[in-house]
Amino acid sequence: MNREPLPPIPVPPALRWREFRVRFLPVLLFMLALGGVAFIWERNVSAPMFVGAVEGRSAHVASPYAAPILRLNVDRFQTVTKGTPLAVLEPTDPRIALSVVQSELDILRAKLDPYLTRQRTATDYEQLRMDWLAQRVDLATARANLQGARDELRRQEALHEQKLVSDDLYELAVTAEAALAAEVSERSNLVQTTEMNLQRLDVTVSSQQTNDFADQFTVTLQAEEQKLKAAAVGAEPITLVAPMDGEVSLIYHQAGENIPEGDPILTITGIEPERIVAYLRQPVPFEPKVGEQVEVRTRTFQRQTSLARINNVGAQFEMITNALAIAHPSGTYDFGLPVEITLPPGLKVRPGEVVDLSVISQN
């Protein structure tokens, strides 16, 4: 009796999905979750070897004198450029203006010394040139006298051979010719020496430059006289300007306040960062070397990772002065070995931001 195989019993899709959900889906989800955790841990949670702080330039604008602030021209977070007027001060001590004038006069005196030296050099040159001309005149006169003495010697020699003059007269002519020849030789040497000195004496100041300097010096002296008159009446207001481009990050005093000498008025911070500075505390976890490659990872919500290099390593442990410093209850200072790291191009960070660092290769 032939029995045909029975048709397979159809399995409903719901039952198949239930079997997959019970047997395979937990394993698959576990593997995916494990991979995601590993990725997140490696990218965001893994401990760095050390940390650094992004640094930019900053400048403190301080008062050079004890004075009240007449006017403050900027506000906090305002962007300024180099040379922007920041504050106007009114010194209260007239001796301040007098000391400024005295300092400027000292500078003028120092500038005048080279001018006087050039004047003396030019005078010496002209005097030496006049002496040289006089020596040339004397040399020409001596040569003329020598020529006359030689002519006279020839006549005396001819007469002496004919026994028409005595030996004494002949010897007198010979002596006169020899003396004049020696004089011409000495004067020739003197003229040559003076000419060589003239060639070595280089006068670089022309008459036009001298006149221009004299005119400028006269104008400057007149300006200093006006400052002295102003100092006798009262000190002039002083305008403090921005020493660099940046943003006004802190303002310590407001208009109307009296501030002591050297007290900072505001701080300007550069907008663009320049480098990353890290400090390795004791015990030092590794020996940093210039040129080592470093991975820089930001702590923002959207993590950024880039490669940089160690640019400089400090020679000794120093007091930590940036955002990495830890305040101790005992009041002791926090020290570390400074390490300067180049700022990776394209990394979007701000001055003062803390970043995670890891050395990934050694050269």
Indicate whether 208 pLDDT > 50: no
- pTM to 2 decimals? 0.48
Would you state the pLDDT for residue 87? 92
Taking residues 222-236, report their average pLDDT: 58
Residue 115 has pLDDT above 60, yes or no: yes
Residue 313 pLDDT:
92
Q: Is the pLDDT of residue 95 over 60?
A: no
pLDDT over 70 (residue 361): no
Tell me what pLDDT residue 204 has.
45
Residue 267 has pLDDT above 90, yes or no: yes
How many angstroms separate the Cα of 142 from the Cα of each of 188, 194, 286? 10, 17, 90
Q: Who wins on pLDDT, 112 or 306?
A: 306
Average pLDDT of the chain to the nearest whole number: 78
Report the alpha-carbon distance of residue 320 to residue 362 in Å, rounded. 26
Rounded average pLDDT over 63-79? 88
| Predicted local distance difference test score (pLDDT) of residue 84 | 92
Lowest model confidence (mean pLDDT) among 128-132, 214-218, 281-285:
214-218
Residue 176, pLDDT score:
81
Residue given tokens 């906090």 in the structure block: 76
Of 162-166, 196-200, 214-218, give the lowest mean pLDDT range. 214-218
Q: What is the pLDDT, as a whole number, of residue 86?
A: 92
Using alpha carbons, list the distances in angstroms from residue 308 to 18, 279, 291, 297, 313: 52, 16, 9, 10, 14
Tell me what pLDDT residue 211 has. 52
pLDDT of residue 258: 87
User: Quick one: which of 19, 9, 134, 43 has its CA closest to 356?
Assistant: 43
Q: Does residue 340 register a pLDDT over 90?
A: yes
Rounded-to-integer distance, Cα 37 and Cα 271, Å: 37
The pLDDT confidence band at residue 113, using thresholds 50, 70 and 90, is low
Query: What are the Cα distances from residue 355, in Å, to 245, 282, 290, 297?
Result: 25, 20, 19, 6
Averaged pLDDT, 29-34: 84
